Structure 1
Amino acid sequence: MTVLRLAVVLLYFCYCVGQEQQCSRYHYEEQILAKVVKLEHRLELLEARNNIGGQTDNSLCPDTWIRFRGSCYLFPRGDVNFSAAEYFCVQHGSHLVHVESKSENNFLKNHMRDMKESNYWIGLTDTDVEGTWGWSGTGTYALFTDWSSHSPNNHGGNQHCVFMQFAHNFEWNDMSCDTKYRAICERNLLS
């Protein structure tokens, strides 16, 4: 469509050379069309930039998965314990989400606000060493956290898995791994 408009502008310009009085209307339209073309180009650049860092283009994610930066995310229905959540994710070529930055955390929070009021497991546990929080299945430790106030607290001595808590704006809290919440699965983009 943009190429067509540009061709029309050039046609008007070529036709009007030497016939300025008859073509004042064409000159005005030429200026307007040039501005439209420029704005369309800016819009295309903005859309391309958002697709690189955002979630709008899911072409590299499986159906029902949501893209954000270099990962795809799935928010399956149904409450399950931590182990069942991780198992479900593995069966779908992924793992419970590893939240590695504030921007990723904010993306997840914003998406969960649009969904049913639920709590969501993330892949963080201290089952190996009490108080040392690591991502399940990797042996890597959390460099970013978003704990709610007074968390983690290992209440009752058996809270070793982490969830994003609806009642506290999806801040993180520790809980017994046997509790049933929804899962968030994460996988790399398809190649």
Structure 2
Amino acid sequence: MWNNRVFIAVFVCLSGCASFYTTCKDGWLPFRGSCYLFHVEAMTFASAEQYCRQHENSHLVHIDDAIENSFLKDRMGLFKDRYWWLGLKDEDIEGVWKWFDNDEIATFTDFNPGDGGSHSLEDCAAAEPGADYRWVDVGCSVTAGVLCKTRGHEEASVIG
């Protein structure tokens, strides 16, 4: 009976006393299970996506929620006055934004008022520095900084 109690205590501690963190390759920034690469050279959307695929087989950033968006906005601000590509397009149906990496409709967006709607020649999304990095729709042939995202490596450390 005593052995069962020790086992339960150890199991509870291992499941409740472990902390997890994300590790990334050098030059990549870890956050909540993902790794991000900021590349300041301005490129078109297609060139930026190609750049990401050549680096850790990543894609232009896919932002899942407001917490991730806020984290990225803070980091974008360190580069001052630079637009950043997002992996988001509405080329199939105007105003219906889909993530380029998986073709899913975006459930979270942060478009500037007046952006993200019906602009027929603006099928790609970028984060705009003058608007606190809120999202804007732009032509895919303009140039912006490259922001790549890939899955990180989860590591665990046991406390105690």
Kindly report the root-mean-square deviation, in angstroms, between the aligned alpha carbons of the 2 structures: 1.8
Deviations 1:33-66 (A, max 9, x none): xxxxxxxxxxxx9xx86x74xxxxx6x2010000
Q: Which residue of 1 aligns with 2:108?
A: 144
Richer in strand (by share): 2
Indicate conservation of the 8 Å contact 2:81/2:129, yes or no.
Answer: yes
Q: How far 1:184 moved relative to its partner?
A: 0.5
Within a 5 Å distance, the mapping from 1:165-184 to structure 2 comes to 165-184=128-147
Aligned partners of 2:140, 2:29: CA distance in 1, in Å?
26
Larger Rg, first or second structure (1 or 2): 1
Aligned partners of 1:159, 1:84: CA distance in 2, in Å?
17
Moved over 2 A (4+): none
Deviations 1:125-158 (A, max 9, x none): 0112221100003111101000111112444x20
Within a 5 Å distance, the mapping from 1:39-58 to structure 2 comes to 52=21
Richer in helix (by share): 1
Q: Which residue of 2 aligns with 1:83?
A: 46
The answer to whether the aligner puts 1:188 opposite 2:151 as a matched pair is: yes
Q: How far 1:190 moved relative to its partner?
A: 3.2
Q: Which residue of 1 aligns with 2:66?
A: 102
**Higher RCO by CA contacts (8 Å cutoff, separation 6 or greater):** 2
Structure 1 runs not aligned, ≥5 long: 1-44, 53-57
Kindly provide the amino acid, as one letter, of the partner of residue 122 in structure 1: L
Q: Secondary structure at the match of 2:142?
A: coil
Indicate conservation of the 8 Å contact 2:94/2:117, yes or no.
Answer: no
Aligned partners of 2:54, 2:27: CA distance in 1, in Å?
15
Structure 2 runs not aligned, ≥5 long: 1-16, 155-160
- Aligned length in residues: 137
* TM-score after normalising by structure 2: 0.80
Q: How far 1:75 moved relative to its partner?
A: 0.2
* Identity score, percent: 36
Q: Which residue of 2 aligns with 1:131?
A: 95
The answer to whether the aligner puts 1:116 opposite 2:80 as a matched pair is: yes
